[in-house]
Structure 1
Amino acid sequence: MSKVLLIEDDQSIADMISIYLAEEDYVVHWAADGKQGTELFHSVEPNVIILDIMLPDMNGIDLCRQFRTESSVPIMMISAKSEVSERVKALIIGADDYLCKPFSMRELAARTSALLRRSTMEKAPAEVNEKVYAHTIKLDLEKRCIYLQNHAVETTFSEFEIMRHFWLHPGKVFSREELLNNIRGIDTFVTERSVDVHITNLRKKVEADPKEPKHIKTVWGVGYKFEL
């Protein structure tokens, strides 16, 4: 059974989420503040994190940033803040999804399932996984890791998913909508700006000059493609 770490200070909301997800066969570990959430993060080793932005002892954005330096576990932020700037900020620091309050338990469960489904995808065929190209970027699909000059590059769950699709289809042009569907599923509400943020972050991590990318290229009016 998949383990969910829920960090939410409102007990009534936490109880509703815990009960609903338990009925969906998730094991939910609840923390009421950032300190307790950090302790459970290390002891439980969750498969997915649901993290409220407004916590009594710290900002959820800062906690998300902290988690992201240690793990690529999928993180869904939940908040009463619905501004686009807040969603973009969360994505930039490493969140994989953002859900605005109030939300339905059904939607929360669907998004949680989508994140877990993407993170536990079946292993790629061995011949694809072991394929090595004669250039500086390489992906290990089993370990879910990007290597640059043989050095591992830390990525978020969504960043790796985008790179994985690029890697498996070099030269293919993906629209923003296609990339969104690939990383989260068509039942999740996100914006095209989310993809732009992930692409910008990926370029900073794998391109020698992010402003003049040689691998992750923009196809104006269409989307993006990856060139070896």
Structure 2
Amino acid sequence: MSKILIIEDDLSIGEMMSIYLYEDGYEVKRAENGRQGEVLFRDFQPDMIILDLMLPDMDGIQLCTTIRQTSSIPILMVSAKNEVSDRVKGLQTGADDYLCKPFSMRELSARIQALFRRSNAYPSLAQSPSDVLDPLGIHLDLEKRCLYVNGRNIETTFSEYEIMKLFWQNQGRVYSREELLNRVRGFDSQVTERAIDVHIANLRKKIEDDPKEPKHVKTVWGVGYKFLL
């Protein structure tokens, strides 16, 4: 049974989500503020977090940043703020999806299923010569879902890893922003293709010697992106 932690200060919305997801078959725990959420994150060890952007004791962005320092589990951010700038900020911080209030419980359930499905739908490939760890380069361990750069384990968000995995398994192939968005977030996301540019920029910071002059994640002008070792 998958475990979901809800960090939401609105009692009615939090209770509604808890009941609905429990009936969907998830093990659910709910925190009403950021500090309680931090404690439950450590003790409950959830498989996914639903995080409200506005909490009474701390900013949801701040909490998302803290969680991302130690974990890459999927984070679904929810908020009444629906400006593009707010959604982009949430994604830049490390959220994997952004759902604007008010939303239906059916849409919430669909987003959660999509995030879980994308984390499990692509089985690890048998190890090939290109999977052998190169201590002086980039390596993706498909079994452990880990990214290594020059022998160091690099923390990635769920979305960053999925993009990197697609690149790794299809080196040299050019992907449009729409294709990457569909792979990472699904067809029903309200987030624009600008989100992909944010993830690409974050990946470049993590794997490139000079993110401004990338050697691996290359822009194909007018089309999208491709990956080269």
Q: TM-score range by the shorter chain?
A: over 0.9
User: Comparing 99-108 with 112-121, which one deviates more in the overlay?
Assistant: 112-121
What SS is found at the alignment partner of 1:158? helix
Q: Aligned in 2, Cα 1:196/1:129: closer, same or farther, shift over 3 Å?
A: farther
Counterpart residue number, 2:146:
145
Q: Secondary structure at the match of 1:73?
A: coil
In structure 2, the partner of 1:73 is: 73
1:182 aligns with 2:150: no
CA shift for structure 1 position 122: 4.7
Residues 56 and 129 from structure 1, CA distance in 2 versus in 1: closer, same or farther, beyond 3 angstroms? farther
Q: How much has 1:47 moved relative to structure 2?
A: 0.5
Q: How does 1:119-138 map to 2 (within 5 A)?
A: 119-128=119-128, 131-132=131-132, 136-138=137-139
Secondary structure of the structure 2 residue equivalent to 1:126: coil
The answer to whether the 8 A contact 2:125-2:142 is kept is no
Provide the rounded CA distance (Å) in 2 between the counterparts of 1:158 and 1:169: 17
RMSD: 1.5
Tell me the amino acid that sits aligned with residue 112 of structure 2: T
Distance 1:132 1:217 in 2: 23
Q: CA deviation at 1:127?
A: 3.0
Compute the displacement of 1:131 (Å): 2.4
In 2, Cα distance between the equivalents of 1:191 and 1:156? 18
Q: 1:5, 1:48 within 8 Å by CA — same for their partners in 2?
A: yes
Question: Per-residue deviation at 1:124?
Answer: 1.4
Partner in structure 1 of residue 162 of structure 2: 161
Change (3 A) 1:196 1:16: same
On the 8 A contact 2:7/2:50 being kept in 1, the answer is: yes
Q: Which amino acid aligns with 2:36?
A: Q
In structure 2, stretches of 5+ residues that fail to align are none
- Give the TM-score, by structure 2 length: 0.96
Which residue in 1 is equivalent to 2:93? 93
Contact 1:74–1:96 (CA under 8 A) maintained in structure 2: yes
Distance in 2 (CA, whole Å) between partners of 1:30 and 1:16 is 11
Counterpart Cα distance in 1 of 2:128 and 2:45: 29
Q: Helix, strand or coil for the counterpart of 2:172?
A: coil
- 115-124 or 212-221, which moves further after superposition? 115-124
Contact 1:218-1:224 within 8 A present in 2 as well? yes
State the Cα distance separating 1:133 from its structure 2 match: 7.4
Trace 1:1-228 onto structure 2 (pairs within 5 A): 1-128=1-128, 131-132=131-132, 136-228=137-229
Q: Give the CA deviation at 1:222.
A: 0.6
Residues 75/129 of structure 1: CA separation in 2 closer, same or farther (3 Å cut): farther
Letter in 2 for 1:28: V
Mind listing any 5+ residue stretches in structure 1 that lack a counterpart?
Answer: none
C-alpha distance in 2 between matches for 1:145 and 1:127: 14
The letter of the residue matching 2:190 is F
Query: How far apart, in 1, do the equivalents of 2:175 and 2:149 lie?
Result: 23
* Partners of 2:228 and 2:67 in 1: CA distance: 31
Structure 2 counterpart of 1:171, one-letter code: G
